[in-house]
Every structure is written in structure tokens, then in C-alpha cells.
A and B are shown apart, each in its own frame.
Chain A
Amino acid sequence: MYGSTAKRLLQHFGAPLVSSSGTHMIRFRPLQSLVSRSHFSTTVNSEPFANEPPSFANSTSSYADEFPNISNSSSSTADHTRRSRVEYQDEQARVLQASLPHVIRLGWSEAAMIAGAKDIGVSASIVGSFPRKEGMLVEFFMDDCLQRLIDRIESSPDELKSLIPSDRITKLIRIRLEMQSPYISKWPQALSIQAQPVNVPTSFKQRAMLVDEIWHGAGDDTADFQWYVKRTVLGGIYSTTEIYMLTDNSPDFRDTWAFLDDRVKDAFDLKKTIQEATYLAEAVGAGMGTSLQGFVKRVFQG
């Protein structure tokens, strides 16, 4: 299905490893040669741990099948490292998962991650091994939510089919935003972390995937330029609703859903959109026209 294809695409074309000025980092893998493994290893880091451990193990075992003839220094360490190869990413994912309950109290911070590590009995030093610390926690959460959304879509397809497209979009966005509601008090911090330059590539990619997934769940199958337009528009709706939700104090976020409804209806209301576009064109034309007239007058008078 598209969702799993997206996952695989993400695994293959993950964000590149960022190297800071003056330093040179290499991820070392004793088994596979650096060249063949490098893009897997980079994605392992920036790719968030949306995959549940079993599926992750499945995907890496397929990698192991792909590279059966790798020469290695000693077979015993090879076995040991191949079996435990997945472990450190799994451990990191477990720590991030255990940190989420602490976020409500401690924010998206190292303190939450340290508390999470202590909860599951892993040394809190592991927090030092995350390259972008809080950024990775937020990314993990975003991926977790995306995965839950995908699961929800796949588990009850009829629920959506019975609605008109604009309602489908509304419902999907609402489902997704409701996943954030327990953390809403600390969500502004998460947004600011996502906006940090070092985190922007990954957060942008995650949002792009999210928007794509929502459109796909709503049954979209355009294959032309409209694809970009639709995703941009939906991205705008999602972001504005998310921000509106930050200051919404109504019970159960009623006002946010009303806001969302309005935005989606506006976007879908073709007549209104055309009318607004016409007004805009007229205003621009008028402005340009008068300024052009004035310019020409001055040129021929002066």
C-alpha cells in the first residue's frame, strides 16, 4: 500500500548526515563496507523510529539477505553484531517511547529523555548518543502519530468512504490533531524545536509525508501539477489549525474543529475561490494599471 511504500522510500532516501564545520563524522559499520551501508546508516539516524520493532527487524533482515557475501574480520563477531545490529536503534526507540509520558511534565527536553531512560532501566548516557536530542524526541513523536494515523485509515476504510471528500479531509486532520492534544501544553516548544535550522529538513519531510498521507487517505489520485497544489493547500490548513489549537481553551477543542471546518470548506468552495482570485487579479491590475499610467505620463511630460 502507499503507506508502506512511503516508509520504504523514507528508509532509502533519508536526510543526509549533517557535518558541522571543521569536523568529520563517519558512521562505522564493521560488517558492511561503508559505501554500501552508508545510506542505510544515515537514514537510521534521521529516520525516526516509526516502525515498530518487529517490522524494523523484518526490514533489516531483508538488508542482511541483500548482502550475504560481505567479508568480515571474524565470523563470531559478525554473528553477534548481525544479531544485535538492530539493537541500538531499538534501544534508542524504546527510550524515546518511554520518554513521551514525561514530556507533559518536563517538556521536550533532555530531562524527559533522561527520565524515560531511567524508567526502562537503560543508562541515561544513551541520551548523549542522540545527535539532536530534543529534535529526535519530537521527530519520534511525529512519526509515531503518522503511523497511528495510517493504521487508523487502514483499519476502517469504510468509515471514510461514506463521507464527501471535504469531510474526509476534516476528519483525518481532526484525528491527527487529537493525537497531539495530551501534549498541547508543551506543543509550542515542540514547534520551536522543529523550526530550528538543524531540525528543519526532517520536520519538513515529516509534514510533507503527513499531508500526502491525509490526501491519500481521502482517496486522492491526481498525478499532475495539482498534486503539489493540493498538498500545499492542505499543509496550510493543517498548520493554521495546529496553531489555532495552541490557544484554544474550549472544551474538547470545539472551536478548533469549527475553525478547521471553515478552512476546509473555503478551500473546497470552488466558486468562492474563483471569485477571490478574480478580486485579487482586479486589484493587482488596477494597482499596476494606475502606476503604469502615472509612469508613462511622467515620462512623456518630463
Chain B
Amino acid sequence: MVMALRTVTRKSGSKLLPRFSPAALLHSHATSFGFKEVREEEKSRMVGNVFSNVASNYDLMNDVMSAGLHRLWKDRLVSKLNPFPGMKHLDVAGGTGDVAFRILDSVNSIRRRAMQDVLEDDIQEETKIYVCDINPNMLNVGKKRALERGIGEDKSLLWVEGDAEALSFGDNTMDGYTIAFGIRNVTHIEKVLSEAYRVLKHGGRFLCLELSHVDIPVFKEFYDFYSFSVIPALGELVAGDRKSYQYLVESIRRFPPQEKFASMIADAGFQQVEYENLVGGVVAIHSGLKV
């Protein structure tokens, strides 16, 4: 949902929301903030303010649209991943850090620590969770949230700016790869999948959490009504932005259905490709194994 809005603002640029196009703002070294002229030092602060406002709306919109369920979906994603100490994990399009925080919590949990040998504490140090996002502002929001949670200084959490279609990581370096609500908005899904395959180690797992297709008869009608009538109205009400949320629900419909997406994952070279529908297909978690 977050990525949707970002993509929309980038695509429609200044037409839609002149002030809320962070990419345009960043690329210009000029000291323009929308229609205003400001000093350079102030600009980053003002951008920060703007994005904080918008970002906080995104989280609120996520909560409102999914009735808080998106938290459970992310929990399920991380439990399927089964993180372990010493893991090298890459979370793509995970700007605000939701999934990364959960993985870190899981690895550091008391229960897990209780199971470990004392000698293995140094392995704990080697855990590295990379949060990769194409948009540096979202990364900054994530860093801020990490500070608020008290894990800002944690050496295990690393924020990297990068493009999912051309990752800067080496081959066979990652134990796990997740992408939550991001793959719907990339330009070339196949490229992202092949990059994911490239960076994963032998035995590594790919997991993707994404809004998907509902086929259950009665529920489908209700979901369509909710998507096309309720969500854009909520977008208007809460975030002041109907068109972006209209785009969001349309893009969900345009994304390949579960089976097709699973075949794309298999084509990238993954084995044991499976998917799990949550809430009857509103959300699906696809997983694959690299051998």
C-alpha cells in the first residue's frame, strides 16, 4: 500500500500531488520545496516533515483498510520464514521496517536465547538483516521507527538504498529474502525474481506477501464492493487522496493470480513453490526454495 502511493506519485509526478513527490524533490539540488523557495539546510527538514506526515497517514491507512490485519499477515510471513541466529536476511521494499523488526525480534527472543548454548552467543552477533528500499525517505522513516523502538543502535539492522531489479548484493549471500506488498509495484516482476534467486544461498528461501485474488463466490462480491467503493472513499477521507487508492485496488486486480505468480517464481528457478491464502485470497504468501 505504501509502495503504491509512492509509485503513483512518481508516475503522475507533479500533476497529482506537487508537494508530495519526494523523488522529484530529492533529485533537484535546487532549493525548491514545491512552489516555495527555501534554503538548502531547511529543505531536508521540511521534506522530513512532509514525509513524516504522509508516512504516518500510510500506516494509518494500512490499519484502516485492513482493520489491523496487516500486522497478523506480517507475523505469519515471519513465522513461515523461521528466522535463526546468524541469519543473513534481505527485506526488499521494506522501507518502514515492519518485517525487519519482526525478524529481529524473533531472532532475539528470549525463548530462542534459552535454547542456545552459551558458546553460540557470537553467532547471534553475526545476524544481519538488510532493509532495501528504492526510496531513501522510506528508509529514513524506518530508521526513525527503529530509534523509537530502541533498536536504532543494533548492528544487525542495516538500511540500504537499492533497486529490487538490480540488487547491489553478491551472489549466494542471503539466507532469506522477503518482499511484503512491494512486488505488485515493480516494473519487471521477472527481474525481481531472478535477482532474488541470484542473491540467495543454496538452501535459501524466498517469501512474498502480496494482495491477491479472491475466488470464493459470495465473499468475492463483498470484497469487490469493499475494494471499489469503500477504499477510495476512505482514501479521500483519511489521506485526502482518492485517486491513489483507486489505483491501488485496480493494481491488485491486475497483478497475476496466485497460480500464475507461482509459475513465475518456479520459472526463476525456485523449487518447492507454494502459496498460502490468507482471508480467502485477499492476501497470499508465496514461498520458494533455492537448491
Contacts and interface: CB of A to CB of B under 8 A. Distances in A.
B66 interface: no
A25 B175 CA distance: 23
B259 interface: yes
Contacts of A29: 266
B267 A129 contact: no
B202 A128 contact: no
B259 A28 contact: yes
A75 interface: no
Nearest to A19: B276
Interface residues of B, number: 36
A22 B81 CA distance: 19
Given A128-B82, A129-B272, A88 B115 contact: no
A87 B201 CA distance: 15
Contacts of A87: 271, 291
A129 B263 contact: no
A110 B201 CA distance: 19
B156 interface: no
Given A28-B266, A77-B267, A126 B289 contact: yes
Given A91-B291, A129-B272, A121 B205 contact: no
A124 B174 CA distance: 11
A124 B275 contact: no
B277 interface: yes
B271 A88 contact: yes
Nearest to B172: A123
Interface in A54-91: 73-74, 77, 80-81, 84-85, 87-88, 91
B82 A125 contact: yes
Interface string A123-150: 1111111000000000000000000000
Given A91-B203, A126-B205, A30 B266 contact: yes
A128 B276 contact: no
A5 interface: no
A85 B205 CA distance: 17
A128 B266 contact: no
Interface string B68-91: 000000000000111010110000
Interface string A8-25: 000000000000001111
Interface string B7-19: 0000000000000
B34 to A, nearest CB: 45
A184 interface: no
B232 interface: no
A127 B277 contact: no
Interface in B273-291: 273-279, 281, 287, 289, 291
A234 B145 CA distance: 62
Contact of A122 (B203, B266, B287): B203
Contacts of B202: 91, 121-123
A25 B273 CA distance: 10
A84 B290 CA distance: 11
A24 B273 contact: no
Interface string A85-123: 101100100010000000000000111001001000111
A22 B283 CA distance: 12
Interface string B125-152: 0000000000000000000000000000
B274 A125 contact: no
Contacts of A127: 82, 84
A73 B263 contact: yes
Contacts of B278: 22-23
Contacts of A128: 80-82, 176, 205
Given A84-B291, A87-B271, A114-B84, A126 B266 contact: no
A14 B201 CA distance: 31
Interface of A: 22-30, 73-74, 77, 80-81, 84-85, 87-88, 91, 95, 109-111, 114, 117, 121-129
Shortest 9 CB-CB contacts between residues of A and residues of B: A128-B82, A123-B203, A122-B203, A126-B203, A88-B271, A123-B201, A30-B266, A28-B262, A28-B273
Interface of B: 80-82, 84, 86-87, 115-116, 175-176, 200-205, 258-259, 262-263, 266-267, 269, 271-279, 281, 287, 289, 291
30 contacts: A23-B277, A23-B278, A24-B276, A24-B277, A26-B259, A26-B262, A28-B259, A28-B273, A77-B267, A80-B269, A81-B271, A84-B291, A87-B271, A88-B271, A88-B289, A91-B203, A95-B203, A111-B116, A117-B203, A122-B202, A122-B203, A123-B201, A123-B203, A124-B84, A125-B84, A125-B175, A125-B204, A127-B82, A127-B84, A128-B82
